[in-house]
């Protein structure tokens, strides 16, 4: 029991510092991304340090769901990669501790982190997002600080465009001013030209005071009419020595009320989200019922759908009973019997009523569509409360086994792998979010898409790491590819310095003769090319091919102990009998018959299979030929003529 406790302490001491470090790094990165995204709305507003610090604090809390899964993935990769690189993981396994036992304390820790992430999403995140977005909207409405440039038109003052040719910062003076005033409307513009001026602000920072020197004022005034045929437009021109203009300009930072954002989906917890979903859904249902009732209440051919009856002064509405006709009425015939003017009037009235009903239904449809969008946004926010917790567990069970397989610590390889996996996760998650938001997919499918894709990857990697499978072994993947593509393999033998089991010529000849007989029997069993149906229903006997391959490998292994270099060279001529899936693609005759019935699909596979079968027969024939030459070498009968025939085929 003490050993397990020490293991838990050891693993936690290796994981926690890396987890805290990577979390801070990831959080800093996402905050910088937030800063670059909204930097234009923050710069030039004259905001105080405490307001900006408050915004970044709430932004950091809001970015935790994005940084937490990535930090868990990176920390798990670094921890287990470092253990594998320094052979500590191998030492733990050699002492009888399985990988699942090694991962157990960290898995328990990640379970606690996932539970904490759920409560963070439900309690802390809504409040932080309300504060963050309230500050953001307040900053957007704050007027920018005044910094009029030289030689350019400045339009940040509402209703005024100001051009300044030159500035004197020491005296706080502006020279050669041209002001275009549209504060009273673009129909009555004012143009002010001044030799110099000064711009200041009142103490309450709610008005600008523009003091101008030696200038002219041009204004167009509308009189409303002319006299004796002359134009009614009047113009005003004024020359001044000094003039002051008061411009409304609120430069103070005014914080908005939090109640506005609390009513949005980002500011609600699980209970509030579910209540909003239920209320909006009831509203949608009532709107649909109202549309249905209204359409039912429309009169048909002038006959109302209901009528009001009065009984002792009490009004009751009852549906009009259906009128039963002895025979169907031909409406078209009745209309055609009317005068042309009446026909046109009936058609116009019908078109007007149809257009009105259609527009009414469209407006109601727009309202229902907006309500459905609100429902989807609240459902997305509701499900995100749970997806973060599951993402933390999934990324741990991806990072930990992947680190144990890669066995590379530090920041190099883990960062590369983590970024690739997280980008893959983010792309899937963002795509699912957009599909759910736009109503193309059900909300639960879009939001849980990323978890559904990455969960099998975590299970696969954990299984492979526990079983010490060579997931990233290039030889294993190459052999897997060869089973599909039929790539050739070559043998390579070298003379052994120390030979324990000497080669017995008689035993070698016996094995070679047996191999030759087996090869000939296989060729006799499959003399010609298989037909399409025979290939899919029968194929080649994979058991016989495997036995033949093992027999060839056994002969080569035995001859590799020879001291004769010619024997070793000739043993390398034995081909590798491959175990390809195309020799017999169908697992049973029934499955083969079904695939064969899909003629366009099965035809190219049949052609590829015939090519691989032809190569197999060629290898077996080469094996027989090599057996004859090897027996001649062992018996001392291998001549130069045989060597010449061997080289020239």
* Residue the block writes with tokens 């029968």: 538
Q: What is the structure's pLDDT at 17? A: 93
Confidence band, pLDDT 50/70/90 cuts, at residue 484 = low
Number of neighbours of residue 641 by Cβ within 10 angstroms: 8
Residue 220 phi/psi, 5° resolution? Answer: -95, 130
Please, which residues have CB within 8 angstroms of residue 332's CB and are 6 or more apart in sequence? none
The pLDDT tens digits of the residues spanning 288-321 come to 677 767 666 666 666 666 777 777 767 777 777 7
Specify which residues 319 forms β-bridges with: 306
- 3-class SS at 157? coil
Interstrand relation of 306-311 and 173-181 (parallel, antiparallel or unpaired): unpaired
Q: What are 585-632's pLDDT values in tens digits?
A: 888 888 888 877 776 667 888 888 888 888 889 889 999 998 988 888
- Write the DSSP assignment of 25-50 as a string of letters: HHHHHHHHHHHHHHGGGTTTS---HH
Structural element, H or E, at residue 268: none
According to the model, what pLDDT value does residue 225 have? 47
Helix (H) or strand (E) holding 574: none
Q: Is the dihedral of CA 339, 342, 347, 348 positive or negative?
A: positive
pLDDT over 90 (residue 113):
yes
The whole-number pLDDT of residue 2 equals 40
Q: How many CB atoms within 10 Å of residue 625?
A: 16
Q: Is the pLDDT of residue 3 over 50?
A: no
CA distance linking residue 594 with residue 347, whole number of Å: 62
Which residue has tokens 């328990």?
A: 108
Q: Phi and psi of 489, rounded to 5°? A: -125, 145
What's the pLDDT score for residue 254? 64
What pLDDT, on the 0 to 100 scale, is given for residue 520? 92
In this prediction, what percent of the chain has a pLDDT beyond 70?
A: 84
Q: Name the pLDDT band for 639 (thresholds 50, 70, 90).
A: low
Q: What is the model's pLDDT at position 143?
A: 52
Rounded to an integer, the average pLDDT of 251-279 is 80
Strands 207-222 and 190-201: what pairing? antiparallel
State how beta strands 190-201 and 173-181 pair.
antiparallel
Rg (CA), the chain: 43
- The per-residue pLDDT for range 389-434, each reduced to its tens digit, is 999 999 999 988 888 888 777 667 777 888 888 888 889 988 999 9
pLDDT tens, residue by residue, 491-545: 777 777 777 778 888 888 999 999 999 999 999 988 888 888 888 888 888 889 8
**What does 366-382 look like in DSSP terms, one character per residue?**
HHHHHHHHHHHHHHHHH
The residues with which 471 forms a beta bridge, in sequence order, are: none
What pLDDT is attached to residue 514?
92
* CB distance 554 to 617 below 8 Å: no
pLDDT at 468 over 60: yes
Predicted structure pTM score: 0.61
Helix, strand, or coil (residue 326): coil
Cα torsion at 441, 443, 446, 452 (round to 10°)? -120
Tokens of 515: 């191999």
Instruction: List the helix and strand counts (H, then E) for the chain.
Output: 21, 8
* φ, ψ of residue 169 in degrees (nearest 5): -70, -30
Question: For residues 31 and 23, is the Cβ–Cβ distance under 8 A?
Answer: no
- Higher pLDDT, residue 369 or 19: 19
Whether the CA torsion 121, 125, 126, 127 is positive or negative: it is positive
Q: Each residue of 545-569: pLDDT tens digit? A: 889 989 998 988 888 888 888 888 8
The Cβ-side half-sphere exposure at 65, using a 13 Å CA radius, reads 22
> Would you say how long the chain is, in residues?
649
* pLDDT for position 53: 87
Strands 173-181 and 233-248: unpaired
Residue 561's Cβ-side half-sphere holds a number of Cα atoms within 13 Å equal to 13
Residue 607: both structure tokens together: 């052609």
Distance (Å, whole) CA 329 – CA 291: 29
Digit-coded pLDDT (tens) for 40-84: 777 666 677 888 888 889 999 999 998 999 999 999 988 988 888
Query: What is the mean pLDDT of the segment spanning 204-222?
Result: 79
Q: How far apart are CA 431 and CA 447, in angstroms?
A: 9
Residue 229's pLDDT band, with cuts at 50, 70 and 90, is very low
Listed ranges 161-165, 310-314, 357-361; the one with the highest mean pLDDT: 161-165
Contact of 186 with 201, CB cutoff 8 Å: no
Lowest mean pLDDT among 106-110, 262-266, 617-621, 642-646: 642-646
pLDDT at 382: 92
Q: Please give the Cα distance from 560 to 569 (Å, whole number).
A: 10
Whole-angstrom distance, CA of residue 402 vs CA of residue 372: 42
């Amino acid at each position: 029991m003490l050993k397990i406790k020490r293991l838990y302490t050891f693993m936690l001491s290796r994981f926690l510092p890396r987890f805290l470090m990577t979390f801070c790094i990831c959080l800093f990165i996402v905050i910088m991304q937030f800063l670059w995204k909204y930097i234009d709305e923050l710069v030039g507003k004259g905001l105080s340090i405490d307001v900006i610090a408050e915004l970044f604090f709430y932004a950091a809390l809001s970015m935790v769901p994005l940084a937490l899964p990535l930090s868990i993935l990176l920390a798990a990769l670094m921890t287990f990669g470092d253990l594998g690189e320094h052979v500590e993981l191998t030492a733990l396994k050699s002492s009888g501790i399985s990988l699942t036992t090694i991962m157990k304390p960290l898995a328990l820790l990640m379970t606690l982190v996932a539970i904490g992430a759920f409560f963070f999403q439900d309690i802390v995140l809504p409040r932080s997002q309300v504060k963050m977005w309230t500050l953001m909207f307040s900053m957007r409405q704050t007027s920018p600080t005044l910094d009029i440039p030289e030689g350019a038109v400045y339009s940040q003052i509402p209703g005024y465009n100001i051009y300044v040719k030159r500035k004197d910062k020491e005296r706080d003076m502006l020279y050669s001013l041209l002001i275009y005033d549209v504060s009273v409307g673009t129909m009555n513009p004012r143009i002010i030209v001044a030799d110099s001026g000064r711009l200041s602000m009142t103490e309450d920072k709610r008005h600008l005071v523009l003091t101008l020197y030696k200038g002219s004022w041009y204004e167009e005034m509308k009189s409303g009419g002319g006299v004796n045929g002359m134009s009614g437009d009047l113009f005003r021109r004024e020359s001044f020595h000094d003039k002051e203009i008061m411009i409304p300009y609120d430069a103070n930072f005014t914080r908005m009320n939090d109640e506005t954002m609390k009513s949005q989906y980002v500011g609600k917890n699980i209970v509030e989200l579910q209540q909003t979903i239920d209320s909006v859904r009831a509203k949608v249902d009532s709107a649909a019922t109202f549309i249905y009732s209204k359409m039912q209440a429309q009169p048909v051919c002038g006959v109302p759908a209901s009528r009001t009856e009065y009984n002792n002064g009490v009004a009751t509405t009852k549906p009009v009973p259906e009128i039963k006709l002895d025979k169907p009425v031909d409406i078209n015939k009745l209309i055609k019997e009317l005068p042309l003017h009446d026909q046109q009037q009936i058609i116009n009235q019908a078109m007007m009523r149809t257009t009105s009903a259609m527009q009414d239904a469209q407006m109601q449809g727009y309202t229902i569509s907006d309500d459905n969008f609100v429902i989807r946004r609240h459902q997305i926010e509701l499900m995100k409360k749970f997806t973060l917790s599951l993402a933390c567990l999934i990324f741990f069970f991806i990072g930990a086994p992947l680190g144990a397989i890669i066995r590379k610590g530090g920041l190099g390889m883990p960062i590369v792998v983590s970024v690739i996996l997280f980008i893959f996760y983010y792309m899937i998650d963002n795509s699912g979010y957009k599909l759910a938001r736009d109503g193309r997919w059900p909300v639960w499918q879009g939001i849980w898409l990323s978890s559904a894709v990455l969960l099998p990857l975590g299970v696969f990697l954990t299984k492979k790491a526990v079983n010490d499978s060579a997931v990233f072994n290039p030889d294993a993947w190459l052999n897997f590819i060869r089973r599909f593509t039929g790539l050739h393999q070559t043998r390579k033998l070298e003379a052994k310095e120390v030979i324990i089991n000497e080669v017995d010529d008689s035993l070698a000849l016996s094995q070679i003769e047996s191999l030759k007989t087996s090869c000939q029997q296989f060729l006799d069993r499959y003399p010609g090319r298989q037909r399409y149906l025979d290939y899919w229903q029968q194929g080649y006997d994979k058991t016989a091919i495997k036995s033949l391959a093992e027999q060839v490998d056994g002969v080569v292994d035995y001859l590799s102990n020879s001291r004769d270099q010619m024997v070793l060279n000739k043993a390398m001529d034995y081909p590798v009998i491959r175990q390809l899936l195309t020799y017999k693609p169908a697992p049973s005759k029934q499955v083969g018959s079904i695939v064969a019935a899909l003629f366009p699909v099965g035809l190219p596979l049949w052609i590829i299979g015939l090519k691989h079968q032809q190569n197999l027969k060629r290898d077996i024939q080469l094996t027989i030929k090599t057996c004859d030459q090897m027996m001649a070498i062992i018996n001392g009968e291998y001549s130069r003529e045989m060597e010449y025939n061997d080289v020239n085929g």
